[in-house]
Structure formats: structure tokens, C-alpha cells
Amino acid sequence: MRSPLLLLGCAMIIGCASESAVAPVDDSAGETASATDSASGDTIAADTAEPIDTTTADTAATPDGAFVRIFDGLDGAEIYVCEDGARIGGTYSRIGSGGSIASGYIETTKLGMRRVHAQASTAPSCLAATSSDPSYSLAKGEHKTLFVRAIAGFNAILSVADDVTAPAAGKARVRVFSGATAFATTHGLLDVCVAAAPWAKGLPGAASGGYLEVTPGAAAVEVRKATTPPCTGVVVATVSVTTQPNATHTLFLVDGRGTGAKDHATFCTDANAGVAVKTASCTDSAL
């Protein structure tokens, strides 16, 4: 059982089903098709857990490796992430403006299923993994983002499948991921639009839109209530971003948490010319 000192009081949020490859990290022994675990009750001791082999490099995955990125979607919290009782990555913060919100892609040769949870940065070391921890899997060559969100303490992590394929020469590639379940509860399904064209349409909370190619450059992004036809509904938020030639990007929508907290849009570069970034490159804006 997690110490209550490590669990922040997060508002309970009801997420919607994903429209694409987003997996609420599973509680029943395996990743399901629509969301990101087994009730065996087995505990993996932290001091005997297999260390996670992690290296970072702006290179494609090795034949035996895969990549994982950590994204802090917990407004007002500073956290780190543990897999099978061992820490992976660094410390990530949404307290003030000085912290790192996300990691770059971390290469690992540990494949298959693993248990994952986040802890407050003040915790001295990873707790043992238990069967109540969410789980997700990695296969050779895969890229995934672990999105830590403001629900059920730190134990609500969405595993998001990433595709870092390069766009056509001179183009940019983008998608939208909404981790903002409270925002979606308030406003309903969302269209995310640029110049009246949808980057995502009818997007629920805890879901990802598909990738699309766009002309690179500055873009004024409008978050609208979903309607038919798309991009004609009420504008509920705006954000400015800049896409880069030959790059793949994700626009993350993130819930604010607590009285007066602001919802956020975080725009990250995932890859350049099909090569996953080793160092996070994200800009964050209040909605």
C-alpha cells in the first residue's frame, strides 16, 4: 500500500474511450486495445527488481530495443517514474516554470510487460511494484509516451503509442493528444483546428487524434467544441505553436488542478527526420 504522504489529493476524473492507440496503463495483466493490468497479488521487491537498461540517443531503436518518453501531466506536482521497482528517467515538474515537463525518448532493451507508477520527487526511492500498479508493454522498435495524469494519486498513467515516421520532405507531421479529461468533461468533445482545418475532430478526454502532414511554420491553434461540420463550434481556447520542416510533433492538452489552476497546451517535438529526440523539446502555454 502506498504511503498517504506520497499520494496527492487529485480530483476524480472520468476519462473517455480513446479513438486511437492510447492505452490507460492496464490493471489486469496486459494492455487492452482501448486503454492503459492481473490481480495476482504478486509483489516485486524493489531491491530485487531487474534494473532498467536506459540510454538516450538521437538514433533509431536498435534491433533489440524500444523507446519510452515520460510526460508530466500533473499540474502543481513534481514527480519521477518507477518501472518494476526501478527508477526510469529523471524528475519532472509542473511547479512554476523552471522544471522539465517531459523527458526525451529513453532507449530500453527491457521488452514485454512491466508495472509502472509515479512518486512525488520527495520520495527517497522507488517503492516495490505491486499488482495494483498499472502495466504496459513495449515491443522491439516501439515508441511510447507515459502520460502521468491528475487522477487517483499518481497511479493513473496512460500509455500512448507514438509513431515517429518522418513526414514527406519539407512537411511537418502533427497529432493532438488530450490528457485533459476534466477540460473535456466541461466542454465535451473537441475539435482542434488551424485555419478552419481539423488537426483532430470529436476528440474526447484521454484520447489521441491521428497524425497528419501540414505545411511547417507558425500556427494559431483553436480548441473548439466539436460540431458538424468540424471547426465551426465555439472556441474555448487558443494556443500558438510552430511546426518544423521534417519534424514530428504532438500537441498535449493538460488539465489544471486546484483552485484557479489553468489548463495547458504543451507542444513537443517527437522526432526529426524520423529520429526520436533524446532531449525534450517542448513549449508550454496556459489555455
Q: State if pTM tops 0.95.
A: no
The SS3 call for residue 5 is: helix
**Radius of gyration, CA atoms only, the chain:** 18
Tens-digit pLDDT profile for the chain (287 aa)?
444 333 333 333 333 333 445 554 543 333 333 333 333 333 333 333 333 333 334 444 445 799 999 999 887 788 999 999 999 999 998 876 666 899 999 999 999 999 999 998 999 999 999 998 889 999 999 999 999 986 555 668 999 999 999 999 999 999 999 988 888 888 999 999 999 999 999 999 999 999 999 999 999 999 999 999 999 999 999 999 999 999 999 999 998 765 566 788 999 999 999 999 999 999 999 88
DSSP label at 155? -
Handedness of CA 154, 159, 160, 164 (dihedral sign): positive
The runs of H, that is alpha helices, within the chain are: 181-187
